Chains A and B, each alone.
Chain A
Amino acid sequence: MEIIMIILAGILVAAAVYLILSRSLLRVIIGTSVLTHAVNLLLLSMGGLKTGAIPIYGETVKRYVDPIPQALILTAIVISFAITAFFLVLAFRSYKELGTDNLAEMRGVPDDEQ
């Protein structure tokens, strides 16, 4: 199962990179969201998907699944949400100010020489 999950994460990364490389700001944001999912899945899979009980302490249970990656992912989800939200508003504001969401047009300052 882990092999399938790692390959799935890789495919998600590829899709995310493809989206990030496009010139539309919207697609870039969608791409970053896809990348987040890929990374979270990768984190979980790398910790091992061995079947065990839900990590809630009980007297009778012998084996649990690994709680550490879960804690990490939980943190990661929240942080990526914060960043996505900020990024979205930034895109909204830049569109209002600049009148475009084409990244090819959002090109720096004029040359200072020549």
Chain B
Amino acid sequence: MHLLQLAVLLPFIGAVLVPVFYSYMKRLHPGIVALIFPVAAAALLIISRLSGQAESHFAWMPRLGLNLDFNLDGFAFLFTMLITVIGALVIFYSVHYLGRREALGHFYCYLLIFMGAMLGVVLSDNVLSLYMFWELTSISSFLLIAFWNHKEKSIQGALKSMLITVFGGLMLLGGLLTLVSITHTFSIREMLTMTNVIAGSPLFTVALVFILLAAFTKSAQFPFHIWLPDAMEAPTPVSAYLHSATMVKAGIYLVARFTPVFAVAPLWIYAVTFAGAVTLFWASFNAVKQRDLKGVLAYSTVSQLGLMMTLLGIGGISLHYHHDEIFYMSIAACVFHIFNHASFKGALFMVVGIIDHETGTRDLHKLGGLMQVMPITFTAAVIGALSMAGVPPFNGFLSKEMFLSSMFDSSESALFNPVLVFVLLALVIIGSIFTFIYSVKLLKDVFLGERHALPKEAHEAPLAFLASPLILITIVVVTGLIPNILAPMIEAASSAVLNKPVDHLHIAHWHGINPALLTTLTIFVLGTLMVLYFSKWKSVYKLQPEHWTFNTLYQSALKNSEHLSYKINHSVIAGGSRLHLVLIFGTFIVLTALALLFAPTGFGKWQLADIRIYELILVIIILVATYMVVIAKSRIFSIIMLSAIGYSVGLFFVFFNAPDIALTQLTIETISTALFLMCFFHLPKLTLYGETAKFKLHNAAIAILTGLSVIVIGLIAYGHRYYPSINEYYIKNVYELAAGKNMVNVILVDFRGFDTLFESAVLGIAGIGIYTLIKLRYRKDDSNEQTEK
């Protein structure tokens, strides 16, 4: 088995083994066992990267195009490292976070499924397997968010994230299949070589919109960001892993992966850039007003995802104008920030989890002055938050600098006119100021100030609990101080994104005095001032009315659609049989009318028989009897008129030389009449329920239109005979082949005897049915079904 396949398979094996193991070995925490799998997967991935075995192929359902083809390029390698390393750290952290009373078997099962699915997403070269793993991340994320399923809010949050991300997943399927239909290949790498074909296709925009919707919903871009803050009901290790480091970056991954295909279109660049910028601004603005620590981090994640999206948008320009190599920097910045964000945001989530665990609350208004009691946690939080705010010398500063200079560079492109550049810069700079504000305010509210009474007596967490965030913080510091150790990795990842080599990347703290540095300084100054005078301007947040949020919009959309479907169902299904009949007849009438309108055919050529006087008399009798039946107000009268119609029809059969059916009709009419009389003896008087004039008019209109449709269809059909009848055969052979003279009877029992067999069966079944209806009684109060004597 290939190393890559094994690496993806390992977490799934773990998902099966860990719960089994846990049920036999209760004393050993299953998290320790679960730790083996990400570590082993990481080792396998590094080995296969170093040894150059970067591709694997497994034909699963080759006829459908569904193969497990994995490709470990630089970009995928970056992601797999984030997934496995942070996965291992999160699992180690969760060993201390989750007590033994929790359903630990379930937790590690879901977490490992998620890990495997995420590895599958970033490694897949086959679009169908990409989609499969993508949905698997949605499902396992749903299970993890609802891990504490006794809490109403967890279920709500899980449902919301499920609905939004699965909507996006279906969009992804649509987009990928559109691409498949354009390129006739299921391989992403082959698609990347066919960019001209794709760009020339009329379905190009459709695929583009689908893929963007998928990426925006998964990566919580405006206005689909609403699921992420609600997903904070998950246990904190889950939030740290899924909702900061890995899953939410799947959308970023998707956009980056398909940038070489779609970035030739200005629509893609505008959409990605501005969706990102608006998300960056809106989420960082909202993060400041959160009271819940995890809420701050959730909005902060959304805003940082917006930042990455903006960078990808600007980076796409480099494919638009082939000579513009300055935009390579933008892609490198994005890749660098993916790494940085995963490190500091993972650490911050874990820190928040520790604070929650040791103090019993995450409410910013209740916390304060924890600096002295939790010094190690404090140090980690300071480094994480300052990196997030973009303060030197941490890695957040570096990627923020690169980000800002990319934004200034956007004015170099012909795609961006001064107005767009101004809007873009305004959004990202204001967004960055708010990022600074919430990062600093978080530190200030939690660790400075005076201490309040807390649910638990606060004290420093055990070292094993602190280990994971400290490792991540170490990464933050190290990559902040010597960023160029990452340069080969970033170069490889950027080259993979752009599908062309990006090299000679040099990341440095000091680029000289340039606009980006000046902007950063402005952000620090303004941000510090705004934090200090927060109470002066916090009424800004009251400008947005309480109910005018995207959440309310989502909730009301959900509620209204449920209500609407209920109403439609209720009115149609519970409308009674009459409504259904009206709908059926109405459809018949409308379809006939449409057919006549859009495919008009003349009445054709009629071959008519002569009219004889006694036939006319019979027609008049039937008409009168029909009228009588319709207006009849008593049972007997209507039955008699009905049998008058029946006998007249029998007489018609006599006139039209059909002795057998005449005989049958007369006999059956007699029996039916007797039956009617017998039953009606038991039935109530004929009552005309609710026969108002309006009711009658409606019915009459439908009835007349139906009758007219039948007449028109009949006349048209009669006028068009394209083939002679096959009756010649029967007439010729009735005596020679079947030895009978009565043609109707021979047809019934010889030529087409099967019809007769089953017609007899119908009669028999009706008889049995009638018998059981009368004999078999079942009452609700009987305990068993039984026959009533």
Partner-B contacts on A (CB < 8 A)? 1-4, 6-27, 30, 33-34, 37-38, 40-42, 44-58, 64-68, 70-71, 73-75, 77-79, 81-86, 88-93, 95-96, 101-104, 106-108, 111, 113-114
**With the chains together, A99 CA to B743 CA distance in Å?**
49
**With the chains together, A102 CA to B691 CA distance in Å?**
12
Contact A78 B715 (CB under 8 A): no
Given A6-B715, A89-B774, decide whether A66 and B683 contact each other with a Cβ distance below 8 A: no
Given A10-B707, A107-B574, decide whether A34 and B645 contact each other with a Cβ distance below 8 A: yes
- B27 in the interface (beta carbon within 8 A): no
Which of chain A's residues have a CB closer than 8 A to the CB of B629? 15, 19, 30, 34
Which of chain B's residues have a CB closer than 8 A to the CB of A64? 727, 731, 743
> What's the least CB distance linking B314 to chain A, in Å?
50
Looking at the complex, which one of B704, B707, B718 makes contact with A2 (CB distance below 8 Å)? B718
**With the chains together, A104 CA to B577 CA distance in Å?**
8
- Counting chain A CB atoms within 10 Å of each CB, which of B659, B700, B762 scores highest? B762
The 9 A-B residue pairs with the shortest CB-CB distance, nearest first, are A14-B707, A10-B711, A82-B766, A18-B703, A67-B743, A23-B689, A55-B743, A57-B741, A17-B703
Contact A26 B635 (CB under 8 A): yes
> What's the least CB distance linking B9 to chain A, in Å?
44
**With the chains together, A64 CA to B421 CA distance in Å?**
90
Count of A-B contacts with CB under 8 A?
Answer: 278
**With the chains together, A11 CA to B626 CA distance in Å?**
9
Which of chain B's residues have a CB closer than 8 A to the CB of A25? 683
Contact A21 B578 (CB under 8 A): yes
Partner-A contacts on B (CB < 8 A)? 566, 570, 573-574, 576-578, 581-582, 585, 606-612, 615-616, 619, 622-623, 626-627, 629-630, 635, 638-639, 642, 645-646, 649, 652-653, 656-661, 664-665, 668, 671-672, 675-676, 679-680, 682-684, 686-691, 698-700, 702-704, 706-708, 710-711, 714-715, 717-718, 725-727, 730-731, 734-735, 740-744, 747-748, 752, 755-756, 759, 762-763, 765-767, 769-770, 773-774
Contact B774 A20 (CB under 8 A): no
> What's the least CB distance linking A79 to chain B, in Å?
5
Which of chain A's residues have a CB closer than 8 A to the CB of B578? 21, 23, 103-104
Contact B766 A70 (CB under 8 A): no
Given A6-B711, A9-B714, A91-B679, decide whether A19 and B743 contact each other with a Cβ distance below 8 A: no
Given A46-B718, A49-B656, A92-B683, decide whether A2 and B609 contact each other with a Cβ distance below 8 A: yes
Residue of A nearest to B610 (CB): A1
Looking at the complex, which one of A12, A33, A47, A67 makes contact with B730 (CB distance below 8 Å)? A67
**With the chains together, A47 CA to B747 CA distance in Å?**
16
**With the chains together, A10 CA to B524 CA distance in Å?**
86
* SS of B interface (majority): helix
Provide a sorted-by-A list of 30 A–B residue pairs whose CB atoms are within 8 angstroms: A6-B715, A8-B619, A13-B706, A14-B703, A17-B702, A21-B703, A30-B639, A34-B629, A34-B642, A38-B710, A40-B661, A42-B710, A44-B656, A51-B657, A55-B743, A57-B735, A67-B747, A70-B658, A74-B661, A74-B664, A74-B744, A75-B755, A75-B756, A78-B759, A82-B763, A89-B679, A95-B684, A104-B689, A106-B576, A108-B573
